[in-house]
Structure 1
Amino acid sequence: MTASVDPIQLMKQEVAKAAAARVHSGSIVGLGSGSTAALMIQYLGDRLQSGELKDIKGVPTSFQSSVLAKQYGIPLVTLDEIEYIDIAIDGADEVDPQHNLIKGGGAAHTREKIVDALAKEFIVVVDSSKLVDRLGTTFKLPVEVIPMAITPVARAIEKLGGKPELRMGVKKAGPVITDQGNMVLDVKFDSIDNPAEMEKTINNIPGVLENGLFVGLTDLVLVGEVKDGQPIVREA
């Protein structure tokens, strides 16, 4: 008797596989962070090992994706060594109908935005629970802040109508520290009516490094769903 596989995990595997299948030999690939991106990195490694894929180079968006890439045999390059990225693949915490995103659940959104913006093609891999009519409805907006500026930035965000909360570590005393050595404010807005405007306004607050609004960067959204117990992948 075989052990039953969680349909959600199966669906994540399928959407990660569908994204990894879009990478061609000779590509420079932006490697996202998070659980679905981790599976995608594993599938890229499998394709390299089997010889189906050759001569790719990865640009990691976090320590996590860097460690995984090394584990699965994907050679890495830095942004100093390249002029562009062919394809970037990453998850998202929310996706609206215009394919704008909220990212940063894993506190890697600053590096993710740099890499995704450099990519000729940026593919987002999500499950259908991440699709929303309006950004900010289910997920707080992460804002990466230089530690000395936490209090003034929080005050400035409150004036914009947001409710900021310092992200605290799990199994670690104190706040979450990003790969850049900064802190994260998770901000609840009643609604984000104009994501492009909000992205610029928050990034203009002195002390803010980057926020999790990704506007106008996404080329394709691959959505994993479970229908009748079977995982399917569709384009949104």
Structure 2
Amino acid sequence: MSIIRLFVTSVFAAGLLAAPANATTFIFKSGGAFIDMPTGNVAMDCGTVGADLCTDDDTLGFDYSKDGVSFNASAYQYTDDTYASRDKTLLIQDISPENSGLGAFSENDLKNDQTQFNSLESIEFVFNETVSLTNFEFNAGDDLDCSSGAHTEGPCGDFELWINGALFATITAVDLLTDVFTGMTFEFRAITPDAGFAIAQFEVVNEVPIPGAIPLFLAGMAWLRFSSRRRKKNAS
């Protein structure tokens, strides 16, 4: 019976190794779903719709926290197309209508609330630990899905994804991007002329705590091997 118990313990430990991490979805748009709002540093009614939020101090960005996951979101504007220098700019959480989200707000154009190539803008998310991001929803700047018809403010276009300060890939903004990206810092730079996007939501997945499960798994296997040898010795 002890062998069976030890075997079950080992299997359970192995299950911990393969257990999925916890996932938390952050929603930055409306549409009937729960909206995740930033804490502090919020200036109300900064866009064309009264429900929109913008950074009161652009240098601080927005802070979000939910289910133990925390990060800072900031908008940037680069000085030229060499991307050698950048300054923080106004970040907008365009809540309404439904097909909206987080974007860089061009203060000289009240209709331009998307992260866009022409203004050399980007959005950056900085987490307090290594996470994986997936299930991104992108919207066009005119509050439409990326895949819907003609866009008065341009299509969603392509963006460069920079992870931990290094270029990871060039990606097309789509209605739902299910790829998984892992790191602590994620920057989205629009690169398609006359195009841009808002980030409506994404899912954050904490890294699986494998180091904590490994000792339990190894201990279970060691006891299983020891007990098996003892049982054979007693039988002889």
The answer, yes or no, to whether TM exceeds 0.5 is no
What's the TM-score once normalised by structure 1's chain length? 0.22
User: Rg bigger for which structure?
Assistant: 2
